[in-house]
A and B are shown apart, each in its own frame.
Chain A
Amino acid sequence: GENVEQHPSTLSVQEGDSAVIKCTYSDSASNYFPWYKQELGKRPQLIIDIRSNVGEKKDQRIAVTLNKTAKHFSLHITETQPEDSAVYFCAADRPQGGKLIFGQGTELSVKP
Protein backbone atom coordinates (compact mmCIF):
# COMPACT_ATOMS: atom_id res chain seq x y z
CA GLY A 1 0.00 0.00 0.00
CA GLU A 2 0.93 3.66 -0.03
CA ASN A 3 2.11 4.72 3.38
CA VAL A 4 4.57 7.22 4.80
CA GLU A 5 4.71 7.42 8.57
CA GLN A 6 6.30 10.42 10.27
CA HIS A 7 7.36 10.94 13.89
CA PRO A 8 7.11 12.85 16.11
CA SER A 9 3.98 14.85 15.39
CA THR A 10 5.23 17.72 17.55
CA LEU A 11 8.76 18.62 18.59
CA SER A 12 9.89 21.42 20.87
CA VAL A 13 13.57 22.32 21.22
CA GLN A 14 15.63 25.14 22.65
CA GLU A 15 17.37 27.48 20.26
CA GLY A 16 20.76 26.05 19.36
CA ASP A 17 19.76 22.43 19.96
CA SER A 18 19.39 19.83 17.23
CA ALA A 19 16.09 18.48 15.92
CA VAL A 20 15.53 15.09 14.31
CA ILE A 21 12.41 13.99 12.43
CA LYS A 22 12.01 10.41 11.22
CA CYS A 23 9.95 8.82 8.47
CA THR A 24 9.32 5.30 7.25
CA TYR A 25 7.87 4.25 3.92
CA SER A 26 6.28 1.08 2.63
CA ASP A 27 6.97 0.98 -1.11
CA SER A 28 10.37 -0.57 -1.75
CA ALA A 29 10.29 0.89 -5.28
CA SER A 30 10.40 4.46 -3.93
CA ASN A 31 13.65 6.19 -4.76
CA TYR A 32 13.06 9.91 -4.18
CA PHE A 33 12.55 11.41 -0.72
CA PRO A 34 12.01 15.17 -0.36
CA TRP A 35 11.38 17.24 2.74
CA TYR A 36 9.08 20.25 2.71
CA LYS A 37 8.73 23.10 5.19
CA GLN A 38 5.38 24.81 5.66
CA GLU A 39 5.14 27.99 7.68
CA LEU A 40 1.78 28.94 9.14
CA GLY A 41 -0.68 29.83 6.39
CA LYS A 42 1.94 29.46 3.67
CA ARG A 43 2.71 27.01 0.89
CA PRO A 44 4.94 23.96 1.44
CA GLN A 45 8.46 24.58 0.13
CA LEU A 46 11.20 22.09 -0.62
CA ILE A 47 14.17 22.35 1.73
CA ILE A 48 16.20 19.26 0.87
CA ASP A 49 15.79 15.97 -0.96
CA ILE A 50 17.65 12.70 -1.34
CA ARG A 51 17.64 9.91 -3.86
CA SER A 52 18.14 6.23 -3.22
CA ASN A 53 21.63 6.13 -4.71
CA VAL A 54 23.04 8.13 -1.78
CA GLY A 55 22.85 7.57 1.96
CA GLU A 56 23.30 11.11 3.21
CA LYS A 57 23.04 14.67 1.97
CA LYS A 58 23.84 17.91 3.75
CA ASP A 59 23.04 21.56 3.09
CA GLN A 60 24.41 23.91 5.74
CA ARG A 61 22.44 23.21 8.96
CA ILE A 62 20.15 20.65 7.34
CA ALA A 63 20.98 17.03 6.57
CA VAL A 64 18.99 14.02 5.47
CA THR A 65 19.91 10.36 5.85
CA LEU A 66 18.40 7.38 4.07
CA ASN A 67 18.43 3.71 4.99
CA LYS A 68 16.89 1.93 2.03
CA THR A 69 17.17 -1.51 3.58
CA ALA A 70 15.15 -0.46 6.59
CA LYS A 71 12.98 1.88 4.52
CA HIS A 72 13.43 4.90 6.70
CA PHE A 73 14.88 8.37 6.29
CA SER A 74 15.47 11.24 8.67
CA LEU A 75 15.83 15.02 8.70
CA HIS A 76 18.44 16.56 10.97
CA ILE A 77 18.52 20.28 11.76
CA THR A 78 21.48 21.50 13.78
CA GLU A 79 21.87 24.80 15.65
CA THR A 80 18.14 25.43 15.44
CA GLN A 81 16.87 29.00 15.23
CA PRO A 82 13.39 30.43 15.96
CA GLU A 83 12.81 30.86 12.22
CA ASP A 84 13.09 27.09 11.84
CA SER A 85 9.71 26.86 13.59
CA ALA A 86 7.26 25.40 11.08
CA VAL A 87 5.59 22.16 10.04
CA TYR A 88 7.92 19.76 8.24
CA PHE A 89 6.67 17.08 5.86
CA CYS A 90 8.57 14.11 4.53
CA ALA A 91 7.49 12.43 1.32
CA ALA A 92 8.27 9.43 -0.84
CA ASP A 93 7.61 9.03 -4.53
CA ARG A 94 5.46 6.40 -6.18
CA PRO A 95 7.43 5.46 -9.27
CA GLN A 96 4.34 3.90 -10.81
CA GLY A 97 2.33 7.03 -11.27
CA GLY A 98 4.81 9.72 -10.36
CA LYS A 99 3.07 11.24 -7.36
CA LEU A 100 4.48 12.05 -3.92
CA ILE A 101 2.98 10.54 -0.77
CA PHE A 102 3.44 12.78 2.27
CA GLY A 103 3.86 11.99 5.93
CA GLN A 104 1.53 13.45 8.53
CA GLY A 105 3.85 16.34 9.35
CA THR A 106 5.91 17.42 12.37
CA GLU A 107 5.26 20.73 14.04
CA LEU A 108 8.65 22.01 15.16
CA SER A 109 8.81 24.77 17.74
CA VAL A 110 12.17 26.39 18.51
CA LYS A 111 12.09 28.35 21.74
CA PRO A 112 14.47 31.32 22.04
Chain B
Amino acid sequence: NAGVMQNPRHLVRRRGQEARLRCSPMKGHSHVYWYRQLPEEGLKFMVYLQKENIIDESGMPKERFSAEFPKEGPSILRIQQVVRGDSAAYFCASSLSLAANTGELFFGEGSRLTVL
Protein backbone atom coordinates (compact mmCIF):
# COMPACT_ATOMS: atom_id res chain seq x y z
CA ASN B 1 0.00 0.00 0.00
CA ALA B 2 1.81 3.07 -1.25
CA GLY B 3 1.94 6.09 0.99
CA VAL B 4 0.93 9.62 0.11
CA MET B 5 2.63 10.49 -3.16
CA GLN B 6 3.55 14.04 -4.04
CA ASN B 7 5.11 15.36 -7.21
CA PRO B 8 7.16 17.06 -8.20
CA ARG B 9 9.52 16.80 -5.22
CA HIS B 10 11.33 19.92 -6.32
CA LEU B 11 10.03 22.69 -8.54
CA VAL B 12 11.76 25.86 -9.67
CA ARG B 13 9.73 28.70 -11.12
CA ARG B 14 10.43 32.28 -12.12
CA ARG B 15 8.32 35.08 -10.74
CA GLY B 16 5.00 35.30 -12.57
CA GLN B 17 4.90 31.66 -13.64
CA GLU B 18 2.45 29.05 -12.43
CA ALA B 19 3.19 26.17 -10.07
CA ARG B 20 1.12 22.99 -9.94
CA LEU B 21 1.66 20.55 -7.11
CA ARG B 22 0.04 17.13 -7.15
CA CYS B 23 -0.89 14.80 -4.36
CA SER B 24 -2.21 11.24 -4.50
CA PRO B 25 -3.60 10.20 -1.11
CA MET B 26 -3.19 6.79 0.40
CA LYS B 27 -5.46 4.16 -1.04
CA GLY B 28 -8.91 4.41 0.50
CA HIS B 29 -8.34 7.88 1.96
CA SER B 30 -10.88 10.48 0.95
CA HIS B 31 -9.63 13.39 3.08
CA VAL B 32 -6.74 15.53 1.82
CA TYR B 33 -5.00 18.40 3.59
CA TRP B 34 -2.40 20.83 2.27
CA TYR B 35 0.11 22.48 4.59
CA ARG B 36 2.87 24.99 3.88
CA GLN B 37 6.18 24.95 5.70
CA LEU B 38 8.53 27.90 5.47
CA PRO B 39 12.21 27.37 6.38
CA GLU B 40 12.57 26.75 10.13
CA GLU B 41 8.86 27.29 10.70
CA GLY B 42 5.91 25.11 11.52
CA LEU B 43 3.25 23.55 9.35
CA LYS B 44 0.64 26.11 8.37
CA PHE B 45 -2.77 24.78 7.38
CA MET B 46 -3.92 25.85 3.93
CA VAL B 47 -6.88 23.81 2.77
CA TYR B 48 -8.87 20.64 3.52
CA LEU B 49 -10.66 18.80 0.74
CA GLN B 50 -12.78 15.75 0.26
CA LYS B 51 -13.56 14.29 -3.12
CA GLU B 52 -14.87 17.11 -5.33
CA ASN B 53 -15.43 19.38 -2.33
CA ILE B 54 -13.44 22.06 -0.54
CA ILE B 55 -14.31 21.71 3.14
CA ASP B 56 -12.09 24.40 4.66
CA GLU B 57 -9.87 26.83 2.77
CA SER B 58 -9.41 29.30 5.60
CA GLY B 59 -5.61 29.04 5.48
CA MET B 60 -5.23 29.60 1.78
CA PRO B 61 -4.58 33.09 0.37
CA LYS B 62 -7.63 34.38 -1.48
CA GLU B 63 -5.66 35.37 -4.54
CA ARG B 64 -3.44 33.26 -6.78
CA PHE B 65 -3.97 30.04 -4.81
CA SER B 66 -6.50 27.34 -5.61
CA ALA B 67 -6.96 23.67 -4.80
CA GLU B 68 -9.02 20.83 -6.12
CA PHE B 69 -9.57 17.16 -5.48
CA PRO B 70 -11.46 15.75 -8.46
CA LYS B 71 -13.44 12.55 -8.50
CA GLU B 72 -10.69 10.91 -10.52
CA GLY B 73 -7.03 11.76 -10.14
CA PRO B 74 -4.83 13.50 -7.61
CA SER B 75 -5.45 16.60 -5.59
CA ILE B 76 -3.82 19.66 -7.11
CA LEU B 77 -2.58 22.82 -5.43
CA ARG B 78 -2.18 25.57 -7.98
CA ILE B 79 -0.29 28.80 -7.45
CA GLN B 80 -0.61 31.41 -10.17
CA GLN B 81 1.82 34.27 -10.79
CA VAL B 82 4.26 33.01 -8.17
CA VAL B 83 6.28 35.46 -6.07
CA ARG B 84 9.46 34.85 -4.06
CA GLY B 85 7.44 34.64 -0.86
CA ASP B 86 5.75 31.50 -2.20
CA SER B 87 9.04 29.60 -1.88
CA ALA B 88 8.36 26.89 0.69
CA ALA B 89 7.78 23.20 1.17
CA TYR B 90 4.18 22.21 0.50
CA PHE B 91 3.07 19.07 2.29
CA CYS B 92 0.01 17.05 1.47
CA ALA B 93 -1.53 14.72 4.02
CA SER B 94 -4.41 12.28 3.84
CA SER B 95 -6.59 10.52 6.35
CA LEU B 96 -9.19 7.81 6.29
CA SER B 97 -11.73 10.02 7.99
CA LEU B 98 -11.75 13.20 10.02
CA ALA B 99 -8.42 13.58 11.79
CA ALA B 100 -10.16 13.76 15.14
CA ASN B 101 -12.06 10.54 14.57
CA THR B 102 -9.51 8.11 13.25
CA GLY B 103 -6.32 9.86 14.23
CA GLU B 104 -3.37 9.84 12.00
CA LEU B 105 -2.65 12.14 9.13
CA PHE B 106 -0.25 10.50 6.71
CA PHE B 107 2.08 13.01 5.10
CA GLY B 108 3.75 12.95 1.73
CA GLU B 109 7.42 13.79 1.27
CA GLY B 110 6.55 17.33 0.27
CA SER B 111 7.06 19.49 -2.80
CA ARG B 112 9.75 22.11 -2.45
CA LEU B 113 8.99 25.19 -4.51
CA THR B 114 11.73 27.69 -5.25
CA VAL B 115 10.79 30.95 -6.93
CA LEU B 116 13.67 32.76 -8.60
Interface residues of A (CB under 8 A from B): 6, 31-32, 34, 36, 42-46, 49, 89, 93, 95, 97-105
Contacts and interface: CB of A to CB of B under 8 A. Distances in A.
A89 B82 CA distance: 28
Contacts, number: 62
Interface in B52-109: 55-56, 58, 91, 98-100, 103-105, 107-109
Contacts of B99: 32, 93, 98-100
A104 B38 CA distance: 11
B107 A32 contact: no
Contacts of B56: 97-99
B100 A95 contact: yes
Contacts of B105: 34, 46, 100
Contact of B42 (A42, A45, A98, A103): A103
Interface string B34-50: 01000001111100100
